[in-house]
């Protein structure tokens, strides 16, 4: 893997690759990863800067300045104004998100069977196998008791009352490789 940073506007840069993926957020990075694992050469183009973890800002202002697009002030206008919070850095919004990893809940597959006539059991098994792999690769773990906030404590109580397992929208599971115990809030 090679990495070329901070090309000034207008400067020519040549690189040959089988594929060019624009944007290095979870969408683009997943696509680039799948293509590269399939043996293709891939050029991943990202508008934002590369930040090594040791250079991540430690203040809210620093994060807004260095990682967010437009200081987190993006807006879209429909019948009302809506904030659109986006990151601009290698990794996209995965650099600023809460690392919550939500699995497709079982009742979604039941609904696909009853309401849409699909083979929900087959879809569940297939998708959960992929989600197993993803969770392993991303080191998804349950937030440890000492780091649980109110939402995580309530989610745990609810899950225990229902016999254990994970709830729909459960925020207790987070990807945490190299997070060094950061990002556990909630
Ligand atoms: C504050 C916050 C918290 C969140 N918490 C969670 C969570 O806990 N769990 C969860 O699963 N999801 C969470 N999300 C949602 C999740 O982060 C997004 O759904 C995900 O990042 C979207 O991925 P993406 O690749 O589509 O886009 P993005 O992550 O937005 O990535 C797009 C990338 O493309 C780049 N780009 C755009 N245009 C160009 C261009 N023309 N040329 C080059 N590069 C370009 C941008 O700079 C950016 O880096 C959260 C999101 C936010 C904002």
| pLDDT tens-digit series, residues 46-81 | 999 998 888 889 899 999 999 999 999 999 999 999
Band (153; pLDDT cuts 50, 70, 90): confident
Cα(100) to ligand 1 centroid in Å equals 14
165 and 131 in a common domain: yes
Q: Please work out whether the CB of residue 27 comes within 6 Å of at least one atom of ligand 1.
A: yes
Q: How many angstroms separate the CA atoms of 43 and 17, rounded?
A: 6
Domain that holds residue 37: 19-95
Length of the chain: 186
125 and 86 in a common domain: no
pTM assigned to the model: 0.84
30 and 88 in a common domain: yes
Q: Please work out whether the CB of residue 93 comes within 6 Å of at least one atom of ligand 1.
A: yes
124 and 76 in a common domain: no
Q: How many angstroms separate the CA atoms of 154 and 122, rounded?
A: 32
Identity of the highest mean pLDDT range in 21-25, 55-59, 172-176 = 21-25
Q: What is the mean pLDDT of residues 20-36?
A: 96
Atom of ligand 1 nearest to the CA of 69: 47
Q: Report if residue 155 sits inside a domain.
A: yes
Q: How many angstroms separate the CA atoms of 153 and 146, rounded?
A: 10
Q: What is the mean pLDDT of residues 30-50?
A: 95
144 and 111 in a common domain: yes
162 and 117 in a common domain: yes
Q: Report if residue 61 sits inside a domain.
A: yes
Atom of ligand 1 nearest to the CA of 26: 25
Q: Report if residue 181 sits inside a domain.
A: no
171 compared with 25, residue with greater pLDDT: 25
Q: How many angstroms separate the CA atoms of 14 and 17, rounded?
A: 10
Q: Please work out whether the CB of residue 179 comes within 6 Å of at least one atom of ligand 1.
A: no
Q: What is the mean pLDDT of residues 90-116?
A: 91
Q: Report if residue 131 sits inside a domain.
A: yes
Q: Are 35 and 57 in contact (CB under 8 A)?
A: no
Q: Report if residue 180 sits inside a domain.
A: no
142 and 89 in a common domain: no
Pick the residue whose CA is nearest to atom 48 on ligand 1.
92
140 and 170 in a common domain: yes
Query: What does the pLDDT read at residue 110?
Result: 93
78 and 25 in a common domain: yes
45 and 113 in a common domain: no
Q: Report if residue 129 sits inside a domain.
A: yes
Query: What does the pLDDT read at residue 186?
Result: 47
Domain boundary among 74, 95, 116: 95
112 and 85 in a common domain: no
Instruction: Give per-residue pLDDT as tens, 108-137.
Output: 999 999 999 999 999 999 999 999 998 998
Domain boundary among 95, 119, 137: 95
- Structural domains of the chain, count: 2
Cα(90) to ligand 1 centroid in Å equals 10
Domain boundary among 31, 65, 95: 95
Q: Give the mutation target among 46, 71, 74, 93 for probing the ligand 1 site: most ligand atoms within 8 A of CB.
A: 93
């Amino acid at each position: 893997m090679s990495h070329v940073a901070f090309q000034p506007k207008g400067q020519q840069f040549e690189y040959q690759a089988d594929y060019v993926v624009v944007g290095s957020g979870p969408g683009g990075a997943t696509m680039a990863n799948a293509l590269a694992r399939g043996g293709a050469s891939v050029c991943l183009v990202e508008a934002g800067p590369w930040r090594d973890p040791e250079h991540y800002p430690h203040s809210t202002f620093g994060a807004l300045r260095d990682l967010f697009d437009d200081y987190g002030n993006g807006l879209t206008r429909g019948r009302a104004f809506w904030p659109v919070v986006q990151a601009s850095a290698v990794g996209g919004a995965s650099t600023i998100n809460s690392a919550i990893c939500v699995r497709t809940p079982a009742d979604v597959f039941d609904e696909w069977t009853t309401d849409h006539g699909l083979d929900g059991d087959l879809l569940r098994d297939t998708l959960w196998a992929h989600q197993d792999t993803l969770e392993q690769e991303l080191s998804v773990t349950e937030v440890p008791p000492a780091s649980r906030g109110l939402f995580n404590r309530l989610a745990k109580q609810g899950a225990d009352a229902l016999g254990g397992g994970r709830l729909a929208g459960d925020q207790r599971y987070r990807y945490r490789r190299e997070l060094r115990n950061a990002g556990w809030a909630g």
